[in-house]
Structure 1
Amino acid sequence: MSEDIAFRLLADGDWDAVVELEHDAYAADGLSEGRVALQSRARPSPGTCYVLEHRGRVRGYVLSLPYPLYRCPDLTRAEERSHEEGSHEERSHEEGGHHSRNLHLHDLVIAEELRGRDVALRFVRHVRAQAQRQGFERISVVAVRRTDVLLAMLGYRTHREVPVPACYGPRAVYMSMAI
Structure 2
Amino acid sequence: MNPVPRPLTDDDWPGVLALETETYAGSGLSEDPAALASRAGRDTSFVLAADRRIVGYVLALSYPRFHFPDLSHPDTTAFASDNLHLHDLVVARGHRRVGLGTRLLHHLTAEARRQAYRLISLVAVGDGALFWSANGFRPHPGITPPVAYGPGAAYMSRPL
Tell me whether the two structures share a fold, i.e. TM-score over 0.5. yes
The answer to whether the aligner puts 1:124 opposite 2:105 as a matched pair is: yes
> How does the TM-score come out when normalised to structure 1?
0.86
Structure 1 residue runs without a partner (length 5+): 86-100
**Displacement after TM superposition at 1:57 (Å):** 2.3
The answer to whether the aligner puts 1:68 opposite 2:82 as a matched pair is: no
Q: Hey, what's the Cα distance between the residues in 1 that align with 2:80 and 2:42?
A: 12
Change (3 A) 1:6 1:56: farther
Larger radius of gyration: 1
Question: Which amino acid is 2:36 matched to?
Answer: L
Match of 1:89 in 2: none
Q: Hey, what's the Cα distance between the residues in 1 that align with 2:89 and 2:121?
A: 12
Match of 1:34 in 2: 32
Q: After superposition, where does 1:73-92 map in structure 2 within 5 Å?
A: 73-85=69-81
Match for residue 95 of structure 2 among 114, 120, 133: 114
The answer to whether the aligner puts 1:13 opposite 2:6 as a matched pair is: no
Residues 56 and 101, structure 2, Cα contact 8 Å, conserved in 1: no
Question: Which amino acid is 2:84 matched to?
Answer: L
Q: Hey, what's the Cα distance between the residues in 2 that align with 1:74 and 1:13?
A: 26
Question: Which amino acid is 1:70 matched to?
Answer: F
- Superposition RMSD on alpha carbons, in Å? 1.0
**Displacement after TM superposition at 1:168 (Å):** 0.1
The answer to whether the aligner puts 1:151 opposite 2:132 as a matched pair is: yes
Residues 46 and 104, structure 2, Cα contact 8 Å, conserved in 1: no
Q: Hey, what's the Cα distance between the residues in 2 that align with 1:13 and 1:166?
A: 32
Residues 6 and 54, structure 1, Cα contact 8 Å, conserved in 2: no
Structure 2 residue runs without a partner (length 5+): none
4+ residue stretches of structure 1 with deviation over 4 A?
Answer: none
Other structure's SS at 2:39 match: helix
Q: Hey, what's the Cα distance between the residues in 2 that align with 1:135 and 1:57?
A: 31
**Displacement after TM superposition at 1:58 (Å):** 1.5
Residues 23 and 34, structure 1, Cα contact 8 Å, conserved in 2: no
The one-character-per-residue Cα deviations of 1:12-53 (angstroms, maximum 9, x if unpaired) are: 1011001100000001000000211111112xx211011111
Q: Percent identity?
A: 41
Q: Hey, what's the Cα distance between the residues in 2 that align with 1:147 and 1:11?
A: 26
**Displacement after TM superposition at 1:149 (Å):** 1.0
Match for residue 136 of structure 1 among 93, 101, 117: 117
Match of 1:163 in 2: 144
